[in-house]
Amino acid sequence: MADEKQLLEEEIIKSIKTIYDPEIPVDVFELGLIYEITINEDNSVKILMTLTSPNCPSAEEIPRDIQEKVSAIEAVKSVKVEITFDPPWDKDMMSEEAQLELGFM
């Protein structure tokens, strides 16, 4: 059972990695905007995420894109995307790959 959940989480992450912040040429997962992915027993998914700033111009479209892409995964029953600003995002949350891409390393 844990293997199935792990495979589903990998598929969800792969799907999320196709979504980019329009202002930054890095996907939202590598940017560190996804804080938590919870998969319940019935394969309903909850994604806790943040935005680069509370005034992010893409505040509506990024969570909607995540909801649509993850919902399209056959094994996923439902998706709830929740936005939080606690803790606030900063560039240290980016993956090494993202930091290299943006010239922070």
What CATH number does the domain containing 50 carry? 3.30.300.130
103 within some domain = no
Q: Is the peptide bond before 87 cis (omega within 30 degrees of 0)?
A: yes
Return the number of other C-beta atoms located less than 10 Å from residue 35's C-beta. Answer: 16
* Cβ contact 105:99 at 8 Å: yes
pLDDT value, residue 104: 83
Mean pLDDT of the chain: 93
Q: Is 64 helix (H, G, I), strand (E, B) or coil?
A: helix
55 within some domain = yes
47 within some domain = yes
pLDDT value, residue 1: 53
Q: Quote the percentage of the chain above a pLDDT of 70.
A: 98
Work out how many domains the chain is built from and give that number. 1
Question: Which secondary structure element, helix H or strand E, spans residue 62, and what is its range?
Answer: helix 61-71
pLDDT value, residue 13: 98
Q: Print the domain residue range for 66.
A: 2-94
pLDDT value, residue 31: 94
Q: At what angle do helices 61-71 and 2-16 cross, to 10 degrees?
A: 140
pLDDT value, residue 2: 66
Residue 3 DSSP one-character state = H
Length of the chain counted residue by residue: 105
Return the number of other C-beta atoms located less than 10 Å from residue 50's C-beta. Answer: 22
pLDDT value, residue 59: 87
Kindly give the parts of the chain with pLDDT less than 50: none
